[in-house]
Amino acid sequence: MIGILWNLGAFLVALGILIAVHEYGHFWVARRCGVYVERFSIGFGKALWRRVDKQGTEFTLAMIPLGGYVKMLDERVEAVPEERRHQAFNNKALWQRSAIVAAGPLANFVFAIFAYWVVYLIGVPAVKPVIGEVAPQSIAAQAGITGGMELKSVSGIQTSNWESVNMAMISHIGDDEMTLTVVPADENYEKTLRLDLRTWSFDPEKEMILATLGITPYSPPITLEIGQLVEQGAAQQAGFQVGDVIVAINQQPITDWNQVVDAIRSNPEVVLDVQLRRDGALIHAPLTPRTKELSSGELVGYAGFAPVVEAWPAEQRFQLKYGPLDAVGAATEKTWQLVTLTFDMVAKLVTGDVALKNLSGPISIAKGAGATADYGIVYFLGFLALISVNLGIVNLLPLPVLDGGHLLFFAIEAVTRRPVSERIQEIGYRLGSAILVVLMAVALINDFTRL
């Protein structure tokens, strides 16, 4: 319950910030174009807080925090006195109306740049994208990729860490090939390799993109020494202590941590004879793994301890951090990559290269907000930037109920020299609303299937 409340709280904070940013974009440009703004609302329904400024605009925080709006003076909505007609949105020049509508999504992109700027000023720990292992006969192996190589770029996009590698690779869903620039182990030169993706299949819901290509990132070796114990867990109750080294399970010698994981996961509620080395002596501990149910419904064993993992090599660790000016360029580049990636995904959703089951709704966003908030402000800001870019792009889609739909009508007006008729706009609004309802329903269904 505490986890749900934490996720909900983080979601509401994130949503409130992003809605405020988006609506403020509309508001700020509307004011500068001489449009009278009657109300600036975050949320819908009953007002929990309100204030009226010197220009008569009512600022409201409403009960239902699932959106917001800026209500402007408009003759299409209500009668406007003659002396105030020049302040009505519908009487402004086409370029002004277009600027006001486009300002919301633009504000989301600017906010993403600002969020990443702060992230890069604070700095975030990162590791270089060095390949650990490559599966035989995999797409990566056939392209000549081997363990120890460092990925420098993916199809021209610089990749300083694994996050940027994943982002660049995802954009290639549905493509025939992908180009990687790598530096071989213990070498100082770069070379370019081409991956044939014609037989590549990738399900983001079930698979990691690197694994589907046959790539396993390098990670420090996992030892057989016990480093952590869960209080009152099965391992602690069996007599395990921090510093013990696992030697054998059921008289079978153990040489790899995966053997330990397999033995415990496959034997819930079954007594295992675990041989430990403690202070040079061998002892036996009867371990009975408890049962844990996975999201898939599968029942597996769980013992409540973790091993000691060797430290990352110093040459692979770095701090992703910039000075104030350099951070602007890095943040802008990062935001642009997100924008292009999201547009690519939307296009591939339309063409069928990306399945509708990959859509995420508010539940997934809430879980993401809670998880990143757990890690700290830097990761939460990165999450806000990602969702802000997505919000901006979704609003630019050419559906009449969205900003993109209004811009489409304005583009038609610019060509025909006359506004789109109210009847056509009304039909467009109904069609756009129906499409959005369907997409939201699909996203919610996807969210519930992931719970």
Q: Are 361 and 11 in contact (CB under 8 A)?
A: no
Report angle CA 279, 280, 282 to the nearest 5 degrees: 100
Write down the catalytic residue from 23, 75, 231, 426.
23
According to DSSP, the β-strands at 215-217 and 177-183 are unpaired
Q: Are 181 and 191 in contact (CB under 8 A)?
A: yes
Q: What is the C-alpha separation between 385 and 172, in angstroms, rounded?
A: 22
Q: What is the C-alpha separation between 43 and 19, in angstroms, rounded?
A: 9
Q: Long-range contacts for 10-16 (Cβ within 8 Å, ≥24 apart)?
A: 10/366, 10/369, 10/370, 10/372, 10/373, 10/380, 11/362, 11/365, 11/366, 11/369, 11/370, 12/65, 13/369, 14/365, 14/369, 14/380, 14/383, 14/384, 14/387, 15/65, 15/66, 16/42, 16/65
Helix, strand, coil share (%) of the chain residues, nearest 5: 45, 25, 30
Helices and strands: H and E segment counts in the chain: 12, 18
Q: Is 413 a catalytic residue?
A: no
Q: Based on the number of CB atoms within 10 Å of its own CB, is 342 exposed (0-12), middle (13-18) or buried (19 or more)? A: middle
Give catalytic residues, as residue numbers. Answer: 23
